C-alpha cells in the first residue's frame, strides 16, 4: 500500500513538472508579444527562457524517480530528455536571433508539452 502511494506521488510530481513546463512555455509566448511592443519585453523573455529551460530540466529530474522505483516504462525519461534538447536548441536559436526557426519550434514545444500533460 505504501509503495503504491509513493509511486502515485512520483507520478504526480511528474505531472506537476510537465504542467510547470507547459505554463512557462505559454508565458514565453506572452513575453514574446511584449518583446515586440514594450521596452521591458526583452528582459522578461530572457528571464523566461532561463525559467523555461529550468522547467525542462525539472521534467527530466521528475521523470527518473517516476520510472526507476516503480518499474514503469522508461518512456517519460526519453520524452523529457528530448524536450530538454529542444529547450536548449530553442534558447540557442533565440540568442542567435533565428526567429524563422525559433518561433515555430516554440509552437511545437507548446503543443508537445500540452500533449505530454494530457497523457499523464
Query: Taking 90 as the threshold, does the pLDDT of residue 7 lie above it?
Result: no
Q: Could you tell me the pTM of the whole model?
A: 0.86
pLDDT at 23: 97
80 neighbors 67 (Cβ within 8 angstroms):
no
pLDDT category of residue 8 using cuts at 50, 70 and 90: low
* DSSP structural state of residue 73: -
Q: How many whole angstroms separate alpha carbon 82 and alpha carbon 112?
A: 11
Bin 71: left if φ > 0, else alpha if -120 < ψ < 50, else beta.
left
pLDDT at 12: 86
In this predicted model, what pLDDT tens digit does every residue of 100-115 receive, in sequence order?
999 999 999 999 999 9
Amino acid at each position: 500500500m505504501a509503495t503504491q502511494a509513493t509511486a502515485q506521488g512520483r507520478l504526480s510530481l511528474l505531472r506537476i513538472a510537465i504542467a510547470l513546463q507547459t505554463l512557462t512555455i505559454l508565458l514565453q509566448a506572452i513575453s514574446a508579444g511584449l518583446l515586440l511592443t514594450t521596452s521591458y519585453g526583452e528582459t522578461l523573455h530572457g528571464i523566461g527562457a532561463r525559467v523555461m529551460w529550468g522547467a525542462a530540466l525539472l521534467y527530466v529530474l521528475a521523470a527518473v524517480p517516476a520510472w526507476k522505483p516503480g518499474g514503469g516504462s522508461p518512456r517519460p525519461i526519453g520524452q523529457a530528455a528530448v524536450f530538454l534538447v529542444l529547450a536548449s536548441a530553442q534558447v540557442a536559436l533565440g540568442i542567435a536571433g533565428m526567429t524563422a526557426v525559433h518561433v515555430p519550434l516554440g509552437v511545437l514545444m507548446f503543443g508537445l508539452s500540452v500533449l505530454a500533460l494530457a497523457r499523464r
